[in-house]
Amino acid sequence: MAKAETCRLAGGAIAKRRTVALGSFERQMCDIQGRLFVRSWEMGLDSADFAEKFMNSKTGGCLDLPYDRLQWAGEEYILEDLLEETAVKPAGEQYGREALYWMGYIYRYWHYMAGESSREIYVQAKARA
C-alpha cells in the first residue's frame, strides 16, 4: 500500500516521498532476482557484464511487468532465457556471492519502490563504478 510521507530536508525544505510496503509476491521477486544474480556467479559469468545484459534485456523487462509467465519460473529458467537472448561474457571479474545477491535484490526492490523499469534503473546505477 502506497503512502505519502513528509520529511524535512537540510535547509528546512519539506519534501514528500512515497513509501510502499511490499507484499509477499514482490518480496519473493526480489529474492528470485537476488538468487538469479548468484546463479550467474555459480556459472562463472562476468558479474558486471551479466548485470548490464540482464537489466537491459527483454528477459529483465518481463520481470518489470505486472504479470508475466517468467515471474513464475525459477532463477535457473530465467538465466537460461537470458542466455538464449543475449551473450554474457563467460569469464572475467566476478563480484562476491553476497554482493551479487543484494545487487539483484536491490535492483528489483528499486523497481517496486520507484516504479522504474530495469533499463531505467541501470542507467542510474550501473554495476561498474
Question: 103 vs 33, 67, 106, CA distance in Å?
Answer: 9, 23, 5
Grid cell digits, residue 75? 532463477
Give domain status of residue 5, yes or no: no
Tell me how far the alpha carbon of residue 48 is from its chain's centroid. Answer: 13
Give domain status of residue 74, yes or no: yes
Give domain status of residue 9, yes or no: no
Tell me the whole-structure pTM to 2 decimals.
Answer: 0.83
Give domain status of residue 93, yes or no: yes
31-81 confidence digits (pLDDT tens): 999 999 999 999 999 999 999 999 999 999 999 999 898 888 889 999 999
3-state secondary structure of 1: coil
Residue with cell 531505467: 120
Query: How does DSSP classify residue 71?
Result: G
Contact in structure between 26 and 93 (CB atoms under 8 Å): no
Give domain status of residue 3, yes or no: no
Give domain status of residue 37, yes or no: yes
Domain enclosing residue 75, as ranges: 22-124
